[in-house]
Structure 1
Amino acid sequence: MTNPSERGHGRLDPSLSAIMSERRQLINLAYRLLGSLADAEDVVQETYARWYAMSRQQREVIDSPGAWFTTVASRICLDLLGSARARRERYVGEWIPDPLPDRTEWTEGRPGGGRVDPADRVTLDESVNMAFLVVLESMNPAERVAFILHDVFCYSFAEVAEIVGRTPAACRQLAWLARRRVHAAEVPAVPTAQQARIVRDFKKAWEAKDIDALIGLLDPDATGTADGGGLVSAMLRPMEGGERIARTFVTVAGLAPGLTILERTVNGQPGLVVQQGGVTVVVLAFDVVGERIRHIWSVLNPEKLRPWTTG
């Protein structure tokens, strides 16, 4: 991607500054559409490459560069979503959206400690928590794009129609179908402080290998899903039952001594990061319902964990 350059008395080209500022919005959009931070960054790079592949005259006739960037990035994502479905059918084991790195510790459910430049990270809100992203994975590409553009980024259906190549009425129907999936999966919201307390109790029980305490924190019908990207140690299918999950975590703690379990924000919610020798080996995201954990997502795929170790 072309680096920002200066011209005329050492001042930054204002038009160049404006289009560079679109990067944060594009990363936010592409991550929600694809569930992969690496793919989102590739989409943004490709979008900028297409911008700079045009002549200066072609760029100057574009009234709204921001709208152009959003349209191009969304169309690239739409194409990638079609091929991603086929790739994920061949994926060894379960596929989980990339966990978003946020290394700040949380206390009473509030992130604290280190400062993170908001321009260099995806905005963390309810539309990037792991449970929400997993629901998005059940949608077809057109539903996902129409829903995210309209319901999350507040684009009109006329604007969505231009991007996905369908009528506004068809896009409205796509968003409605997607919204129905989201509502069907919704559960009563749990305050972040309460989630933090339950996840912290899970951490303490895991460190103590207290199987009874772990069972008490897990819903009897809880499920655990692991994404190892083909690693032999990863589960190939979701694990069912709170007691079975608890026993598995205790077994892991016994087989891998020297693990360091850190309280971290994962996709905007209290989660855990497990390190061995300073290297992140597992990132855990939790779905808490009431006073118990309903689902645990364990990401072990080294490709997805690289940002958590490299910083």
Structure 2
Amino acid sequence: MIQFQYERASTAKAAVSALANNAKIIAGGTNLVDLMKRNVMAPAKLIDINSLPLRSIEQQNGKMIIGALALNSQVADDKLVLEKHPLLSKALNAGASAQIRNMATVGGNMMQRTRCSYFYDTALPCNKREPGSGCGALEGVNRMHAIFGTSDKCIAVHPSDMCVALVALDAIVVVSGPKGERRIPFDDFHRLPGSQPEKDNTLQKDELIISVEIPDNTFSKNCHYFKVRDRTSYAFALVSVAAALDLDGKNIKEARLAMGGVAHKPWRLKEAEKALAGKPATEETFRQAAEIAMQGAKAFKHNAFKLKLGPNVIVEALKNAAGLV
């Protein structure tokens, strides 16, 4: 780890002003510190924002506002979250270990970087870590890698469980920068790799995440987060699905679906959602939607199993959400 400067920001404006010359924000540090230890990231300065008043969870004017510094464990256990957006709680509790959830923040969770082994190993080629060096995963060990939205530059996946739920819930990211406040739909916050896989998201270098807003919805009664992983504790998803249904008896009025472990960003399944609307909540309906959801999926040498696992996880998540299991 290289030497770096450390600064505590007393206001959001001060934090934004300090974001220059290779500076990075630090709060819980559960991902950034690991990357610094491995020399994957080497910021010249760390801006500590833990003293900022960004930890609240509030309900205002038809939306829930969650501060960027709210801890993952705090959000998962919050009574308001459990009442209005239990899908978010389920996703958070599926991620990492209890110790990490007690340190990790909402903003940090959104900003965490891929766990691709080629990204973490500085001796191996990785366009995300070193643009132009190549993607070792393309012809290498790619069991954990993407099947949607890939490019010839990168096939890494986004690791967050929380973000899969937030994209399904139509969340909004509120950020602050030199030009003031900006609101970003959650589905637009993270990027596909394209020709610039080093860019994980659409946050500008001089912007700070302030909060996440979740609009009120009708999905609190019928929702489920299903995560398939190599081991039950502290493992990233092979495939995960956030599913939420608004039911009128046995019929689906509206649906929300998103997948994790399959793309460079949380993968929203809008066409499958449309296919579910107005249909009966049956396994047959769910399998038809799963087929639509998997259109365009492309496997690599070691992750072809995701083409079969993916639709099965979608169906099981929907069955659980509908109360069929």
TM-score norm. by structure 1 comes to 0.25
Larger RCO (CA under 8 A, 6+ residues apart): 1
Higher-helix-fraction structure: 1
Higher-strand-fraction structure: 2
